[in-house]
Structure 1
Amino acid sequence: MKANYVFQNLCGTVYRQGNVLFTPDGNSVLSPVGNRVSVFDLINNKSRTLPFENRKNIACIGLSPDGQVLISIDQDGRALLVHFRKGTVLHHMNFQKPVSTISFAPNGKYFAIGHGNHIQVWNTPSHLAREFAPFVLHREYTGHQDEVTSIYWSRSSKYFLTTSRDMTARLYTLDPLEGFKPKSFGGHRDVVIGAWFSEDEKTIYTVSRDGAVFTWNAKKTTAEDDSDVEMDVLDLPSTSASAATVAEFAPAYTRWGITTRHFFNQANTKVACATFHPGTSLLIVGFSTGVFGLWEMPDFTPVHTLSISNEKISSVAVSASGEWLAFGASKLGQLLVWEWQSESYVLKQQGHYFDMNTLAFSQDGQNIATGGEDGKVKLWNASSGFCYVTFPEHTASISSVEFAKQGQVLFSASLDGTVRAFDLIRYRNFRTFTSPTPVQFCSLAVDPSGEVVCAGSLDTFEIYMWSVQTGKLLDILSGHTAPVSGLSFSPSGERLASSSWDRSVRLWGVFGRSRESEPITVSSEATALAFRPDGKELAVTTLDGQISFVDVAEGEIKSVIEGRRDISGGRKAEDRMSAANNAASKYFNSVCWTADGSCVIAGGSSKYVVIYDRADGVMVKKFQISENLSLDGTQEMLDSRRLTEAGSLDALDDNGNASDLEDRLDNSLPGAQKGDLSKRKYKRDARTNCVRFSATGRSWAAASTEGLLLYSLDESTTFDPIDLSLDLTPESTLETLAKGEHLIALVMALRLNEKPLIQRVYESIPAAEVRLVARQLPTVYVQRLLSFIAEHAESSPHVEFDLVWVAAMLTSHGRWLKERKAENASVFRALQKSVQAWESSVAKQCNDNSFTLSYLISQSKRAEVSNGNENGGIVY
């Protein structure tokens, strides 16, 4: 079995905290998800998660104007400089203290960060050349008395505006000017959220948290006895500054004054975030009640107001064209993209409110169902990473979800005492199964035929069976003396296996005359079980960290894998023992077989997911689901400097230090928090609640604390002789093309991934060699070349040449593409769009030609008739 699975995507969580960003072209949105960054492609309706991880949860991100360099900064001020297009980490940087905001200059040469009450401007490192000391501090600016909240650059990148919690905004220049002092903008009575220039940079707008909007313009005249106005040296008539310098730094020389004051007048709410688009003069404001509004400046004309969430809007961004607005709500984990002109959603995604408990793959592996603590069942598309339907019917935590083997039906079991069946064609709950007395269901199994569904209870220790067709209760299986932790039907449907906390596994012949079964005793409390695909063996995980393999025919344990040492790792903040000696609390709570039945994958109360070989009983590979230090249990060694007499600093309550009143208030009921009731703060554990393999065996998913992690086989490890080349450049590619080595030249161009070079090589290949080159092309480059052909066909006049390429590629790699039709769906759609465009254009041209010919024929006949009449009725 192949074990080269690599991280592919993170679903289930779309936004956690920090700021959201649009890419420079406005087609994608960047969203911080824990210590990762997800990219949502709004045009192709796909999402991807960049492969790097920060040390802790990301506090702010910044993208350069050319879209090449991404900087992500975590809560402690540790930054990663990432090549955005490739997703690779170029440099690490530690700013030594938390960073509140980051902003790139429009020319891309500098970026500024809010460093406490200071502003630091750094030179942007190059993403092309390797540098020994890439981060060079240009200058540090002081003047604010409290934390900086936002930074906004001018179009010329010569000066910038900053706002702070000290209720002021300030204007700084990038380089010192003779006699210049930073301008200060006061008058607000609350924290200033943002400050922006207008399109002509003759007006400045500032917005404060209490809902006040101030418009600042140049003062026309100043009275001689006005001693409150600060006069700069450069403002005096005797200044030595040249006229060119004054014109270039006009805002720096201007004496600014408040011309108008506006107020939002939103009852019982405060401004949470705001942004401004100079091109359209739109001010976009998000409020603490989940309402956002648009106002046109400088007249402060309201465009519209909309409620999009029940909680505070944490971040707002606007695309470069000003058409799309992106909003993030951290408490509910919502990410929304709104098109304000048509008043419609471009994107609306929300993850589970708290932990994700369970997951299940559909039979074709294209869809994933998840159930969470919030009582919602969500369906995700595995290729795009988007949630396309949510079922909110349950009123308590979801314990298990299962797809029917046949038909478009999804089943879910919940602690609210119901098992529900959902129709995946009409997207509705068409059947609800209940027990005679209220119970809590903690496990679920569906018959392979889809006609019988079973659920195990948490409190009565019984197994309930229902008919899916009628919804009637068929039978109640009794025998366990503890909660039923796992249920599974054999692939043939003849037997039902159940595991329980009473340290036993039972095999039931549910369709026979007798319902009795002899228990198979395991070493400890059983937590999960799974049938092998051939139905001859059963894998059972127990609380002592073991995986037991039970022979179904003989009803006895054949072998045991000791997995406690494999899964152990990670020390929590309050653990008395080190990670090496704390294996007692580590166990598997989920197990699944691979499609061929040669290996099992298991995960549990640890940061690791492990794959074991069944035949040899050895560990094949171990995956770490997260390196996020904001989660508990990811560190192997604790920092003794974080320990005090009152306990760990990470566990101390710091809610009283929050800036907003609503964040300082503790509205929870006594005893409602997890863990020690004397604590009011806790960190979420890094753990896996459920792991599942897809039916194709090419990917697996884990429902973890971070979200839904998707891992797939790494196809980039295919041997390619071009990898051995050290001089892979555009010049060497053209030299190879000139020698007539078309296949190697095409592969080299695809590796460099430069569109002009790919187009030149592509169009230089003779049509007679297209079929041979397509047959020999490595499969690693098939999808990339098909995407290029689809894009090339939209603007190229070489219709026949592109059609020959498409036919050759589909003929040579059709089987490979069919096996991965879900991954290549976007490529197929693009090709279909191009072919249909050709067809419609050719059909239109043929219709035009036929009409023209008909017209010409009719005109010639008419001319003949007229000539015949002129000659006395004789037609020559």
Structure 2
Amino acid sequence: MAAPLEVIVSSDSASQLWNCTVFDLHSGSSLLSYRGGNSAARSLALLRGDFLLSAQLAKNFINVWEIQRKDQLQQKIVCPGVVTCLTVSPDGAFLAVGVAEAIYLWEVCTGKLLVVLSRHYQDVTCLKFTDDGSHLVSAGKDNLALVWSVCSVVQLDLGHAPEPHHVLSRHSLPITDLHCGRMGAQARIATASLDQTVKVWELSSGEMLLSVLFDVEIMSVTFDPCEYFLFCGGSDGNIFQVSLSSQFLSREKSFQSASEGTQVFKGHRNIVTCLSVSMDGTLLLSGSHDETVRLWDVQSRQSVRCLAHKGPVTNAVIMPVSANMFLPDSRPAVPLPRFSRHLHASERNDEESGMVCLRPALYTQEEDESYLQKADRLYSLINTVTDNSGFGDGENTKDLIAELEEEVQTLKKVNKDLFEFSSQMLKKPT
């Protein structure tokens, strides 16, 4: 049997025998189980393909497993308080953790706590990096979603408090989930809220592109890889599918379950807490408080598999298989350091460690432009070139060429005189 390309990784809040379980995406068979504690919601992450991280439910530490050593915790990362969510940058450089209303950002290679972002007014509920790692998006119970430029946050001047790049403030109740699309700094963001809406934003400008109103509170949200559809998990157990490619789509839309019943995935009996889509966009994964994880065929909206759990599902994600996941003799190329609990580490400790850390500087990333801003700039450049006097009438062009040829002849004569003078000086006896 060929090794799977994608697997399901899920966790629940009540299992006594394991923390996370890995299932085969197509057969549903259990492949691996990671032991030790229970995972909090929105706290499961894969680090560099070598480590699996999850925050301990209602505790102040993060469990860390080497990806192939499922029976043994590699270490625990102690945090300043109960962890509400966590995420890892795609390149494995940074670990971001939500603790109450603050965001803690660590540098993974050194374990140094770089910055504490305290811009939310209530608990942070979800964190996501963009797929290029250039931005971090946070959302919380204060109804706000904040877009942070990583280059602005990871700076050496600790006396300057970083400010978010954008503040997305159109929700009226706590945000329950967020999802970042592809294309890095030009990505689109989806946020779900208890105000029964899902909103889609342009990351570069912070503008709201779409707002969809539902009949129930929305607890989870995701795009398919091509961003043709928006999948929204409701508090009633239904999953709603919204087309993003319709030519009649307006900025404000209402989704009526009764009239649009063909676009609803029905099967869960309780809150849908997490959603994930396979790489080819054909399969949708959902986790629920009804203690099941379901796999759906997107085209037919039929449940093709149901995976039973021991308690309310806290995490369920489809992820690519790590190269080391099924190789028991492999070990991480770079071990994890000990993570600092204090922000202002002494200079003496840095000198003794002998480490040289390179971090992105502020000037390495220009101010992001939206699509419309780029189009306006390109249009103005085209007009500038078109209006250039070099493209005037034929008579002006001929005069300009004649002046340039005369200047070239003058320069040639000056150059010849200098050469002759230099030759005479060299031949002259001393």
TM class by shorter-chain length?
0.5 to 0.7
Q: Any idea what SS the aligned residue of 1:182 has?
A: strand
2:210 paired residue number: 183
Q: Any idea what SS the aligned residue of 1:111 has?
A: strand
* Range with bigger deviation, 202-211 or 141-150: 202-211
| Alpha-carbon distance between aligned partners in 1 of 2:117 and 2:154, rounded to the nearest angstrom | 18
| Alpha-carbon distance between aligned partners in 1 of 2:133 and 2:38, rounded to the nearest angstrom | 26
Shift of the 127–19 alpha-carbon distance from structure 1 to 2, 3 Å rule, reads: same
1:308 paired residue number: 309
2:202 paired residue number: 173
| Alpha-carbon distance between aligned partners in 2 of 1:29 and 1:727, rounded to the nearest angstrom | 26
Shift of the 192–199 alpha-carbon distance from structure 1 to 2, 3 Å rule, reads: same
Shift of the 149–204 alpha-carbon distance from structure 1 to 2, 3 Å rule, reads: same
Displacement of 1:54 in angstroms is 2.6
How do 1:382-531 and structure 2 match up within 5 A?
Answer: none
The reply to whether residue 212 of structure 1 matches residue 238 of structure 2 is yes
Displacement of 1:321 in angstroms is 4.7
How do 1:230-269 and structure 2 match up within 5 A?
Answer: 230=250, 260-267=262-269, 269=270
Which of 102, 122, 129 is matched with 1:97 structurally? 122
2:8 paired residue number: none
| Alpha-carbon distance between aligned partners in 2 of 1:146 and 1:135, rounded to the nearest angstrom | 25
The reply to whether residue 164 of structure 1 matches residue 167 of structure 2 is no
1:290 paired residue number: 291
2:414 paired residue number: none
How do 1:678-827 and structure 2 match up within 5 A?
Answer: none
Q: Any idea what SS the aligned residue of 2:90 has?
A: coil
1:320 paired residue number: 320
Displacement of 1:37 in angstroms is 1.3
Determine if contact 2:175/2:193 at 8 Å carries over to the other structure: yes
2:276 paired residue number: 275
Shift of the 200–266 alpha-carbon distance from structure 1 to 2, 3 Å rule, reads: closer
Displacement of 1:266 in angstroms is 3.9
Q: Any idea what SS the aligned residue of 2:164 has?
A: strand
Q: Which residue identity lines up with residue 295 of structure 1 in the other structure?
A: W
| Alpha-carbon distance between aligned partners in 1 of 2:246 and 2:164, rounded to the nearest angstrom | 38
| Alpha-carbon distance between aligned partners in 2 of 1:174 and 1:17, rounded to the nearest angstrom | 27
Q: Any idea what SS the aligned residue of 1:97 has?
A: coil
Determine if contact 2:135/2:149 at 8 Å carries over to the other structure: yes
Q: Which residue identity lines up with residue 78 of structure 1 in the other structure?
A: A
Q: Deviations over 1:562-620 (max 9, x none)?
A: xxxxxxxxxxxxxxxxxxxxxxxxxxxxxxxxxxxxxxxxxxxxxxxxxxxxxxxxxxx
Determine if contact 1:68/1:127 at 8 Å carries over to the other structure: no
| Alpha-carbon distance between aligned partners in 2 of 1:24 and 1:85, rounded to the nearest angstrom | 11
| Alpha-carbon distance between aligned partners in 2 of 1:219 and 1:258, rounded to the nearest angstrom | 16
1:80 paired residue number: 104
Which of 133, 136, 141 is matched with 2:168 structurally? 141
What is the percentage of aligned positions where both structures have the same residue?
Answer: 17
| Alpha-carbon distance between aligned partners in 1 of 2:300 and 2:322, rounded to the nearest angstrom | 18
| Alpha-carbon distance between aligned partners in 1 of 2:265 and 2:157, rounded to the nearest angstrom | 49
Q: Which residue identity lines up with residue 165 of structure 2 in the other structure?
A: H
Q: Deviations over 1:149-204 (max 9, x none)?
A: 11111111322111111111111112338xx6531112x33221222222222222
The reply to whether residue 193 of structure 1 matches residue 194 of structure 2 is no
Shift of the 70–134 alpha-carbon distance from structure 1 to 2, 3 Å rule, reads: farther
Q: Any idea what SS the aligned residue of 2:263 has?
A: strand
Shift of the 300–323 alpha-carbon distance from structure 1 to 2, 3 Å rule, reads: farther
The reply to whether residue 59 of structure 1 matches residue 61 of structure 2 is no
Shift of the 125–57 alpha-carbon distance from structure 1 to 2, 3 Å rule, reads: farther
Q: Deviations over 1:184-233 (max 9, x none)?
A: 112x33221222222222222222121222222256565xxxxxx7479x
Determine if contact 2:268/2:290 at 8 Å carries over to the other structure: no
Q: Deviations over 1:786-822 (max 9, x none)?
A: xxxxxxxxxxxxxxxxxxxxxxxxxxxxxxxxxxxxx
TM-score (norm 1): 0.30
The reply to whether residue 130 of structure 1 matches residue 156 of structure 2 is yes
| Alpha-carbon distance between aligned partners in 1 of 2:275 and 2:302, rounded to the nearest angstrom | 16
Determine if contact 1:36/1:49 at 8 Å carries over to the other structure: no
1:30 paired residue number: 53
Q: Which residue identity lines up with residue 230 of structure 2 in the other structure?
A: I
TM-score (norm 2): 0.58
Displacement of 1:262 in angstroms is 2.3
Determine if contact 1:272/1:313 at 8 Å carries over to the other structure: yes
Shift of the 25–231 alpha-carbon distance from structure 1 to 2, 3 Å rule, reads: closer
Determine if contact 1:69/1:83 at 8 Å carries over to the other structure: yes
Q: Which residue identity lines up with residue 319 of structure 1 in the other structure?
A: M
Q: Which residue identity lines up with residue 30 of structure 1 in the other structure?
A: L
Shift of the 200–323 alpha-carbon distance from structure 1 to 2, 3 Å rule, reads: farther
| Alpha-carbon distance between aligned partners in 2 of 1:297 and 1:101, rounded to the nearest angstrom | 25
Displacement of 1:304 in angstroms is 1.1
Paired residues, number: 289
Determine if contact 1:14/1:31 at 8 Å carries over to the other structure: no
1:151 paired residue number: 178
Which of 40, 44, 48 is matched with 1:21 structurally? 44
| Alpha-carbon distance between aligned partners in 1 of 2:355 and 2:323, rounded to the nearest angstrom | 44
Determine if contact 2:276/2:318 at 8 Å carries over to the other structure: yes
| Alpha-carbon distance between aligned partners in 2 of 1:215 and 1:24, rounded to the nearest angstrom | 31
| Alpha-carbon distance between aligned partners in 2 of 1:263 and 1:287, rounded to the nearest angstrom | 13
2:139 paired residue number: 114
Shift of the 137–729 alpha-carbon distance from structure 1 to 2, 3 Å rule, reads: closer
| Alpha-carbon distance between aligned partners in 2 of 1:60 and 1:42, rounded to the nearest angstrom | 20
Q: Which residue identity lines up with residue 140 of structure 1 in the other structure?
A: V
Displacement of 1:307 in angstroms is 1.0
| Alpha-carbon distance between aligned partners in 1 of 2:268 and 2:192, rounded to the nearest angstrom | 22
How do 1:836-855 and structure 2 match up within 5 A?
Answer: none
Determine if contact 2:238/2:272 at 8 Å carries over to the other structure: no
Q: Any idea what SS the aligned residue of 1:206 has?
A: strand
Displacement of 1:100 in angstroms is 1.2
| Alpha-carbon distance between aligned partners in 2 of 1:138 and 1:303, rounded to the nearest angstrom | 42
| Alpha-carbon distance between aligned partners in 1 of 2:352 and 2:109, rounded to the nearest angstrom | 23
| Alpha-carbon distance between aligned partners in 1 of 2:196 and 2:229, rounded to the nearest angstrom | 19
User: Structure with the greater relative contact order (CA < 8 A, sep ≥ 6): 1 or 2?
Assistant: 2
| Alpha-carbon distance between aligned partners in 2 of 1:35 and 1:727, rounded to the nearest angstrom | 28
Determine if contact 2:44/2:315 at 8 Å carries over to the other structure: no
Shift of the 102–231 alpha-carbon distance from structure 1 to 2, 3 Å rule, reads: closer
Determine if contact 1:22/1:318 at 8 Å carries over to the other structure: no
Shift of the 26–207 alpha-carbon distance from structure 1 to 2, 3 Å rule, reads: farther
